[in-house]
Structure formats: structure tokens, C-alpha cells
Structure 1
Amino acid sequence: MSTENPYIAPTAEVGTAPAPVPAEVLKKIKHAWIAGAVSGSITLALVLASMAGIEALGFTAWELLDVALIAGLVFGIHRKSRTCAVAMLVYFILSKILIMIEGGRPTGLLISFIFIYFYWGGITGTFQYHRLQKRGA
């Protein structure tokens, strides 16, 4: 005869602890969202300067939409979103190309490459993070 009580509710494993994530991966993600916050802050400062009457790279109040987009992408990167990390890099590159075309000459290439480096690190960091989470689940 069975020793189990048929009237006891079955037990189930509720959840597992998330897989440990190396500090190096989290550091890449953190650097990416900080770089995005810096980029958004610079864009905001230039927009506010242009709204105050100072000519700043031809920026207008419409670039506040850029600031909002950057802020949203930065929040997504902070939440470890792969989509936001990729979108941030693509958006940054396209916006720099557009600024260089409108300006007629390449400017700020060194700074742009530094931001690209951090955004690329954010992409690799978010993908590594999700791979580790999937493996631990």
C-alpha cells in the first residue's frame, strides 16, 4: 500500500535563483548606460543652449525628442535590454553621420569612437547577461 496521502497538495519548485553574473558583464552594461546618459545630457545642454539663442550645431527644440529617445534607451540598457542596447548604438551612429553630413565635415570622431566602444560593450554585456540567465534557468 502507498504511504503517500492522496489528499496532500502536490509540491512544485516555485523558482530557481538567478544564475550568478560576473561583475565584468554587469560593468559593460553599466558603462553603456552611463555613456548614454552622458550623451543625452550633452544633447540636452545643446538643445537648451539653442533655445536660449546660442547657435549650437543647428539644434532646435525638436531635438528634445532625441533627448527623450536617448533617455528611454538608456533606461532600457539599465534594465539589461538587448534591443535597447542595439538600438542605442545604431541611433548614435546614424545621428553622428547625419550631423557630419549637415555640418559638411567630420567632427568629434575621437569622442564618437569612445561612445561607440561603450555602446558595443553594452551590447555584448546584455547578450552575455541573458545567455547566463537562460543557462541558469
Structure 2
Amino acid sequence: MSMLDQLRRPSNGDSPGWLEMRLDRADKLIDLAWPVAALWGTVRVISFIWIARFSDDEELAWLLDPLLILLLAYGLYRRSRVCAVLLLVYVVVELWVAYHTRPVASGVGPALLLGVAFVAGIRGTFAYHREQAEAPRP
């Protein structure tokens, strides 16, 4: 067996267990990302309730942010590549805004952790769809 044969990914016909193993690996990456997104959205909902309760400014536009996050988390749970990418873009935009609106950047650490989790989600969704496309049809 040549070195190139050892490095090449096995085809789906080589072993029926390979497909399940690669799909399981993709599912683990997705299962890392979507609960983080759901937790992030839940924290934002609690923040909205807190702000609405203790301030005179009860603006429903503040509720759009956590709802968008929770909808994107659900999309990631459903293996949507678009939602996975949009979650990462959203974190990058929030990090950029946090860095440029305050003299001292706040929330950089959590935003970086969110970014790492969502990159794993992107990898998982793309791997999942690639493996589904390569799966043998009965």
C-alpha cells in the first residue's frame, strides 16, 4: 500500500462504519456549537428582561437580538450551514462594535469563546453535508 493510499480518505464503499464515524464526528462539532448559541441567546433574553424591568426604556427592539440568536441556534441544531456562518458573523460584528465603541474593549473573552464554538459548528455542518452528499444511495 502506497503512502498516498494511506493518506487518502477511504471511500464510502470501503467500510460501512466509516460513514457513521465521520457523521458522528460532524454531529459532535455541531453539538458543541448549538448549545453555546442557545445559552448565549438565553443570557441575552435575561439581559433584556433585566433592562426592561429596571429602566424606563422598554423598547421591544432590544428583544430582536436574543430572538435572532435563538433562531440561528435552532438553525444550527437543524444542521444549517447558513445559520452556522451567520452566528460567527454576528459574533465578529459584536466583537468589532465592542472594541470600537468603548475605550476599553469589554466582552472580548466571551466573544472569542463564542467564535471558537461557532467555528466548530461551521466545520461540523459543512462536514455533515459533505458526508451526506457522499453517502451511497440505496
TM-score range normalised by the length of the shorter chain: 0.7 to 0.9
- Give the match for residue 130 of structure 1: 129
Question: 8 Å contact 2:98–2:107 — kept in the other structure?
Answer: no
RMSD: 2.2
1:75-131, Cα deviation, whole Å (9 max, x unpaired): 110000000000010012112322343334211222211111100000000000000
CA distance 1:103–1:52, shift in 2 (3 Å) = farther
Q: Distance in 1 between matches of 2:64 and 2:103?
A: 24
CA distance in 2, matches of 1:120, 1:59: 34
* Matched residue, 1:83: 82
Q: Share of identical aligned residues, percent?
A: 27
Q: Does the 8 A contact of 2:38 with 2:73 survive in 1?
A: yes
SS of 2:43's partner is helix
Q: Tell me the number of residue pairs that the alignment of Structure 1 and Structure 2 aligns.
A: 117
Q: Distance in 2 between matches of 1:54 and 1:118?
A: 33
1:10 is matched with: none
- Normalization by structure 1: what TM-score? 0.76
The structure in which a higher percent of residues are helix is 2
